[in-house]
Structure 1
């Protein structure tokens, strides 16, 4: 496979293991082609050079040569490299990535014709687009890629590109650093200038909620003079040759967040030795040299006959800083560290495998290392580089470091000095991440070496918000007290804001206080009291049931349907216990059980009372001569009443749970300082239908008992049932208005009290007189008392 476009810019050195590099020094413009044309007909229409980026090539080469000379790292193993340019072009980046994956001479995708080329990792690219183009090819082979782009190429790198690493920190740290810088100097009005691309739009989106945006629209030489620039790490104003004739004074005193760098020993000496004659295998140096020194090399085929020929002995340190820097930049430092990270990882693999080889007595060769086996070691690599910085990756495959804050100082010869004046380092203790040295900052000339002031009045303290002054400049404002329901928790806030759900303002309107959860708890005095009564009455009911079971063969117990008596007592026991479902924080299960359990259990209890009452009426009616009611006397009638009346309530509750079941609900608005945690009934209609049916059974029972209260029988329960139903109906009639007028836990307490009171009415009116006779007046508990009347 031949290259569709041959460009000469390549720098290679063979070795046992090869590290690839895709740099971004040249930008090429291609003539547009159509699908009808042969892809091999692409032609280069123009070449844009970024000479400052040539330092990226040199830092890569310097790191490899330095490692090969170091006997402590990878002894007896030589590192080679192959460097291509991406030309800021997707097609060329893909093509040159394929060259890295192929043999030395030809591009043969997915096959290495020359086994001597053992590519172990790749460094690059400069921006997120180039990094992504490289990664799309490398991740298929699981070859590690260490990029030095400020922005990640995708949102979730470790999932979408598992073989991708970045020798730069997370970009979010610099956004936080910018805001901390603005807060430190109390700059409350800033403008943002950005290009119309995804990276700058990402920057704006990250900053616009933190700072106030002001568009700057006037000419660059008239609006921009005297402005203090704050630049992000991905923008380098000094990277183009077009800036030779540009007035750099507009950037005097600018502050820039840059990738952390440090002085690397011997790198400057290495740069002093760089010249076209010593770098003959370097395919990048010719164009760089001619563009940087604005001359033509004597052996160049281009522009022959020109008088401005290069000698080749020009010195890099004579170039202005906007063209080339003699100190290692942040990006070059990242490349340098990336090469060392690869080398240290290989050394660690080599050391561990040599130990294993010694134990297993078998041969081992590092050249057989598969790229996918490289990742577990690279993820955990940690080392101190030659500059003394600790280098390691975090869980996202990014270097665990921060950003430097640089102050740009221009010199008369169109060069500049980078002065490190601060740091945004998330690795230090909380509260110390941001540092700034004001004394080291050189401010723009027009501000008289003092920090610019972006305010014309005193601060608005927390609890107040800024209010625009009519006729005054936009940066002047007065302070207005926050409304009752809002707060401001910082100085100079544009508007007060409402507290989040679950919180409310304090008296000074400068802080939100968390609302207290309001529900009937087992730890509340009211909850403890009601729960204690429920347990006490449950034990009392159980005691009554025990008394009746112990005396089950006595006439008092056997009269009026003993089975219904037992079932009624069990129902009352469950009524007392079901009130405990209403205490405690509501959850889905308890909300689903509360009202249906209450409705069904009470329906069974009232149905038992109704069945007992009807049984008494039918029994006395059947004693009259010639009546047809005798066939209804017996347990069948009572059971039929009990089952039919209970099934209706069960059916209603089942429909309720199917169509609109109750659920936990947090009421944030009813109470100012509390959140009411309650069970939303789901369907209010079904809730009142359950109560209504229960009331209907109670009224029928009361009516039947009232009519049968004077029937002759020593053990006639009708008069007791009458009183019990009177109490029952009175409790639940008063329940509805009390329930609707209560809020929060008191609403629940009203229902629990109604449950307990109505159950106590049934228990005391029906069973306490019988217990009195069974225990204290056993002489009345005889058959004679029944037959006597």
Structure 2
């Protein structure tokens, strides 16, 4: 009954009224309210704290406050109301040795600063530390006591508080202290929400935000090529943030996500263990508290699941409760995790081991620790013990911590301890900046600025200086705040099996901002080998292939598709195939680009040899006819067929056969220009000869009519030669203008798909080439028309039929040439043009000269004047 009465009295006391005043009276002059309420609450609060001896304090010029969970309840399942009153009923609480070490780190830092002659010179820094007992109401009450005036002496309020052992406590304390502009520096509150300066303008922390922790784990998984992982996370913002960051950028895929709730941890751990056992992912991310992880590992031990590689968050990556549990060593071996960065504090271990109650007679926390550690009692604590409690033997005073190994004296990895140490130094440097006065002799006239006094520090001014604090720690580390956060720095740790079968914590790397430094050779994996475990949904695609996502599956699950022609991938796991440059082509394996083979119509290939043989044969045949006509030039057959034009026609045909050879071979600047000009001029010369011959035949028979005798004088030998030259000159002019303005040039044809580059003569001006062909076509049509009109003249003297047949063949070849040339790729277009030249040349040669040679050589009896004159 007395306990319940005390609780009712406290909640109806001015202390509870003070809490209401701070929460509701934000606009009503909170500092005044604190001072009014302080006197009324002090006596009751002093009595409570002095009776329970839960404070560490030291007087000085500037006092900073500290809140630590120095005690905890051994079981949260027992909901006995009396166990919640940690500060009142101490015998239900246990001393937390780690938190006790944090508190003494603050004391050590304060004493170290007081010995420093450059930091806060002439100012003695002091402290007041209270136990929040891991209970939010007690943390609130302690913070109110600190900012409202010291509970032990009812002295001045503290301008800064170091505390907030959890993110929830940090948010609560920041909201309470924000209206007073009292800075709060937390050493373990890592919630990303606390980075919001609009909601928490007075909050600072010496531990990185969980955003960076999740990002560091994701980078570690990507660095080790773990793209297929399972996730077991706490069912709160802490765990859900990990999932969001782990899958950011879709570089890591989650096969499953299991959540753990503290209220249903046994059922959740069993479900998660079954999922892990059935999963194909070899790597499991666990982003939860160490108590939840311990329960999960117990379930995995029952199922003998020992072949998984676990990724640990900082909440359990350094947990002694799991590390020292031999039963979990098979499952927990090889754990790789992110931990709060560690550092050494010079002289801190000697400081802890030299602690002794005789040197600190007013330190009741040290006495309590001493009694628990050595099983003895001091007179002061024995006097307060109830009569029913058995009394241990009194302490002899010879006990020492030099041989003691426990969580309090372990300074091998100072993590949160170092955060507390940094928080004290950040506060000291902000105070140093605030209390450093400018040189009064050099102060400008009229400057009304005044220096702050150590005994009347304005928390709002201290908050401004804390925002700008930047210094180098005694360990040589650069420290500064980014808003309320610090730059992200973590340790990478590995749980390795010792020869005795236990697990030990080994530092294997660091995370500094966005840089990951991992000593991979020092890692002991869960498999027991030095090979990094493989955890992928699909094996990486080899060079020469690319990844193709499977429909309806995560992006980490894919098929390997070979690259297409002209594309390569020269590394493992390529997402895309790269197209080779225009001058290159992919090899057969699609792993490298090789120079394309140069392709053109050469004299060495079968097609080139065949066309060359046909051209040479045409030249030989034409030359043979020329020799026959030359030898029989005085015979009636040769003389009756205009021998001069016949010889000129044979010469032009020989040029037509020879010009086809210019198209064969590697294209060059001059060959491209010469081949088209030679082709156009030689064919115009040939057709001109045929046209003049046809005109002469028509004129000869027309002149036989009465009154038309003067017609032949216009078509004498001179006029015939002049007509041929005139017709040819037009083509020559066209070619000269074409070659001068926009001549054909050598070009690499890269558009033709394949591993070859075709060298060809590109028509820079289609108009020029069209005019050349068009002029040839015009003369051919006129010649065909004239020959057709002369087809019924007397047979023995009529050469028009032969010219008609030859021109029909000529026109048919070149009409078919146009579509064939346009549709033929690369060097085959050149072959089509050569074929057209040879076919039309052979047509003219055979149709016009073959019948005459037949008579001259095989029927000489018909090669007489009588035969030529007869009908």
CA distance in 1, matches of 2:87, 2:521: 59
CA distance in 1, matches of 2:53, 2:394: 24
Whether contact under 8 Å (2:194, 2:200) holds in the other structure is: no
Which of the two has greater helix per residue? 2
CA distance in 2, matches of 1:391, 1:271: 25
Task: Output one character per residue of 1:203-237: Cα deviation in whole Å (capped at 9) or x when no partner.
Answer: 33433554414454151424554543322223355
| 2:111 paired with 1:70 | no
Whether contact under 8 Å (2:212, 2:488) holds in the other structure is: no
- For residue 103 of structure 1, the aligned residue among 149, 173, 179 is 149
Deviation, structure 1 residue 438: 0.8
CA distance in 2, matches of 1:189, 1:117: 58
| 2:355 paired with 1:274 | yes
Match of 2:547 in 1: 464
| 2:432 paired with 1:347 | yes
Deviation, structure 1 residue 433: 1.4
| 2:419 paired with 1:338 | no
Task: Output one character per residue of 1:547-569: Cα deviation in whole Å (capped at 9) or x when no partner.
Answer: xxxxxxxxxxxxxxxxxxxxxxx
Match of 2:476 in 1: 388
CA distance in 1, matches of 2:48, 2:307: 47
- For residue 442 of structure 1, the aligned residue among 521, 524, 527 is 524
CA distance in 1, matches of 2:66, 2:322: 24
Task: Output one character per residue of 1:136-194: Cα deviation in whole Å (capped at 9) or x when no partner.
Answer: 32112101111122523736520011111111223222222111111121223333333
In structure 2, the CA distance between the partners of 1:57 and 1:75, relative to structure 1 (3 Å rule), is: same
Deviation, structure 1 residue 273: 1.2
CA distance in 2, matches of 1:412, 1:85: 40
In structure 2, the CA distance between the partners of 1:245 and 1:410, relative to structure 1 (3 Å rule), is: closer
| SS of corresponding position for 2:146 | helix
TM-score normalised to structure 2 length: 0.47
Match of 1:170 in 2: 209
Match of 1:131 in 2: 170
CA distance in 1, matches of 2:91, 2:243: 34
CA distance in 1, matches of 2:425, 2:240: 33
**1:506-545 equivalence runs, <5 A:** none
**1:190-269 equivalence runs, <5 A:** 190-208=229-247, 210-214=252-256, 215=258, 216-218=272-274, 219-222=299-302, 223=304, 225=306, 227-235=308-316, 238=319, 247-248=328-329, 250-269=331-350
Match of 2:798 in 1: none
Deviation, structure 1 residue 312: 7.1
In structure 2, the CA distance between the partners of 1:84 and 1:454, relative to structure 1 (3 Å rule), is: same
| SS of corresponding position for 1:192 | strand
Match of 1:506 in 2: none
| SS of corresponding position for 1:199 | helix
CA distance in 1, matches of 2:163, 2:549: 48
- For residue 390 of structure 2, the aligned residue among 261, 286, 304 is 304
CA distance in 2, matches of 1:397, 1:227: 38
| 2:457 paired with 1:398 | no
CA distance in 1, matches of 2:238, 2:371: 32
Deviation, structure 1 residue 25: 3.2
Q: Which has the larger radius of gyration?
A: 2
TM-score normalised to structure 1 length: 0.52
In structure 2, the CA distance between the partners of 1:479 and 1:40, relative to structure 1 (3 Å rule), is: closer
| SS of corresponding position for 2:201 | coil
In structure 2, the CA distance between the partners of 1:242 and 1:309, relative to structure 1 (3 Å rule), is: farther
In structure 2, the CA distance between the partners of 1:208 and 1:289, relative to structure 1 (3 Å rule), is: farther
Match of 1:374 in 2: 462
Whether contact under 8 Å (1:320, 1:414) holds in the other structure is: no
| SS of corresponding position for 1:368 | coil
Task: Output one character per residue of 1:431-476: Cα deviation in whole Å (capped at 9) or x when no partner.
Answer: x6122111232334x4224322324863147852465999xxx999
Match of 2:53 in 1: 8
In structure 2, the CA distance between the partners of 1:224 and 1:24, relative to structure 1 (3 Å rule), is: farther
**1:11-90 equivalence runs, <5 A:** 11-28=56-73, 46-90=92-136
Whether contact under 8 Å (1:465, 1:482) holds in the other structure is: no
Whether contact under 8 Å (1:463, 1:481) holds in the other structure is: yes
CA distance in 1, matches of 2:86, 2:490: 44
Deviation, structure 1 residue 196: 3.6
In structure 2, the CA distance between the partners of 1:476 and 1:174, relative to structure 1 (3 Å rule), is: closer
CA distance in 2, matches of 1:40, 1:252: 37
CA distance in 2, matches of 1:327, 1:152: 27
CA distance in 1, matches of 2:369, 2:473: 29
CA distance in 1, matches of 2:112, 2:98: 22
In structure 2, the CA distance between the partners of 1:213 and 1:99, relative to structure 1 (3 Å rule), is: farther
CA distance in 2, matches of 1:5, 1:211: 55
In structure 2, the CA distance between the partners of 1:372 and 1:313, relative to structure 1 (3 Å rule), is: same
Unaligned runs of 5+ in 1: 107-112, 427-431, 497-789
CA distance in 1, matches of 2:326, 2:100: 21
| SS of corresponding position for 1:120 | coil
CA distance in 1, matches of 2:413, 2:323: 22
CA distance in 2, matches of 1:17, 1:164: 20
In structure 2, the CA distance between the partners of 1:307 and 1:15, relative to structure 1 (3 Å rule), is: closer
Match of 1:551 in 2: none
In structure 2, the CA distance between the partners of 1:205 and 1:27, relative to structure 1 (3 Å rule), is: farther
The size of the alignment, in residue pairs, is 468
Match of 1:590 in 2: none
Deviation, structure 1 residue 266: 1.2
In structure 2, the CA distance between the partners of 1:458 and 1:309, relative to structure 1 (3 Å rule), is: farther
CA distance in 1, matches of 2:557, 2:451: 78
Deviation, structure 1 residue 200: 2.9
| SS of corresponding position for 1:423 | strand
CA distance in 2, matches of 1:152, 1:476: 30
CA distance in 2, matches of 1:414, 1:15: 51
In structure 2, the CA distance between the partners of 1:483 and 1:284, relative to structure 1 (3 Å rule), is: farther
**1:595-744 equivalence runs, <5 A:** none
In structure 2, the CA distance between the partners of 1:160 and 1:298, relative to structure 1 (3 Å rule), is: same
CA distance in 2, matches of 1:326, 1:188: 37
Which is further off, 152-161 or 15-24?
A: 152-161
Deviation, structure 1 residue 287: 4.5
Task: Output one character per residue of 1:474-503: Cα deviation in whole Å (capped at 9) or x when no partner.
Answer: 99976155999xxx9x9879x99xxxxxxx
CA distance in 1, matches of 2:362, 2:273: 48
Deviation, structure 1 residue 297: 4.2
| 2:183 paired with 1:149 | no
CA distance in 1, matches of 2:556, 2:182: 57
Cα RMSD, aligned residues only: 4.4
Deviation, structure 1 residue 88: 1.5
In structure 2, the CA distance between the partners of 1:400 and 1:78, relative to structure 1 (3 Å rule), is: same
- For residue 180 of structure 1, the aligned residue among 219, 235, 241 is 219
Deviation, structure 1 residue 411: 5.0
Deviation, structure 1 residue 77: 0.8
Unaligned runs of 5+ in 2: 1-40, 259-271, 275-298, 577-871
CA distance in 1, matches of 2:146, 2:485: 24
| SS of corresponding position for 2:234 | coil
Deviation, structure 1 residue 262: 2.0
| SS of corresponding position for 1:193 | strand
Task: Output one character per residue of 1:507-548: Cα deviation in whole Å (capped at 9) or x when no partner.
Answer: xxxxxxxxxxxxxxxxxxxxxxxxxxxxxxxxxxxxxxxxxx
CA distance in 2, matches of 1:310, 1:199: 48
Task: Output one character per residue of 1:112-151: Cα deviation in whole Å (capped at 9) or x when no partner.
Answer: x84x535121111121011122213211210111112252
In structure 2, the CA distance between the partners of 1:492 and 1:325, relative to structure 1 (3 Å rule), is: farther
